[in-house]
């Protein structure tokens, strides 16, 4: 019997491989993907967004912020949480509104930068899915998704870089998700505490163009 996590992963790959629209931001990505999943031929029992889990329910949850899972898919009494990250470089385009092509270009994707924090946020998603899976019997696993048009995320930083242990380059990654300089500004921010994940995860990058913009995406099964 195919696991729910594998079914959801197949649907997510189908969305990422077929989407031809430049999505403005992470919330836009979240809404488009949730709609796709709701219309899936797999006929899920429910597809919820911003699924709130009180952090007090999660032992070893080290962050001050509450947890709202981006998407949670339910089928046959089992749940699959999906966390999303959508990190962008600036792209300008003419857009259509109400069936009219507007004259001036607009910024459809902002230049976010701060790749070190973006990498941290991805591994934080992985860890949060681990904690949810460990706490709730009906969660057998989840998926951490990362989509970007910034190729820097696919490359390894230098070994002396503060975020070296947070790299997202192709291949296997250490369980240690610490800043190398624990006295750095990043390490001292409450939102970016060092932590460990439960196992070594493998990142495999996929690549495709959307509206002539190169995109890179990976899906990690937690």
Cβ-based neighbours of 192, under 8 Å, separated by 6 or more = 117, 120, 179, 186
Tokens standing for residue 94: 């003419």
The string of pLDDT tens digits covering residues 109-166 is: 899 988 999 999 999 999 999 999 999 999 999 999 999 999 999 999 889 899 999 9
- Asked if residue 186 has pLDDT above 80, the reply is no
The string of pLDDT tens digits covering residues 92-114 is: 888 888 988 888 888 988 999 88
- Asked if residue 187 has pLDDT above 70, the reply is no
Domain count, the chain: 1
Residue 149: DSSP 8-state: S
Q: Which of 146, 125, 143, 123 is nearest to 3 (CA)?
A: 143
Regarding beta strands 106-109 and 91-93, do their DSSP bridges make them parallel or antiparallel, or are they unpaired?
antiparallel
pTM of the model: 0.94
Domain that holds residue 50: 4-221
C-alpha–C-alpha distance, residues 25 and 9, integer Å:
21
3-state helix, strand, coil in the chain (%, to 5): 30, 30, 40
The string of pLDDT tens digits covering residues 195-218 is: 999 999 999 999 999 999 999 999
pLDDT at 188: 66
């Amino acid at each position: 019997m195919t696991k729910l996590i594998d079914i959801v992963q197949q649907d997510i790959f189908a969305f990422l491989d077929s989407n031809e629209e430049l999505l403005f931001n992470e919330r836009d990505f979240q809404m488009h993907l949730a709609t796709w999943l709701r219309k899936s031929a797999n006929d899920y029992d429910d597809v919820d967004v911003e699924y709130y889990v009180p952090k007090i329910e999660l032992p070893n949850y080290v962050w001050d912020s509450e947890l709202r899972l981006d998407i949670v898919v339910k089928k046959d009494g089992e749940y699959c949480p999906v966390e999303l990250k959508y990190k962008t470089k600036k792209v300008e385009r003419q857009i259509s509104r109400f069936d009219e092509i507007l004259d001036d270009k607009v910024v459809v994707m902002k230049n976010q930068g701060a790749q070190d924090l973006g990498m941290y946020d991805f591994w934080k998603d992985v860890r949060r899915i681990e904690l949810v899976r460990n706490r709730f019997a009906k969660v057998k696993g989840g998926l951490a998704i990362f989509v970007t048009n910034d190729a820097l995320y696919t490359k390894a930083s230098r070994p002396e870089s503060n975020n070296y242990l947070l790299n997202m380059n192709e291949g296997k990654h250490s369980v240690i998700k610490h800043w190398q300089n624990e006295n750095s500004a990043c390490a001292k921010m409450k939102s970016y505490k060092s932590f460990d994940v439960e196992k070594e995860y493998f990142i495999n990058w996929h690549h495709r163009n959307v509206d002539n913009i190169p995109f890179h995406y990976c899906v990690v099964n937690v």
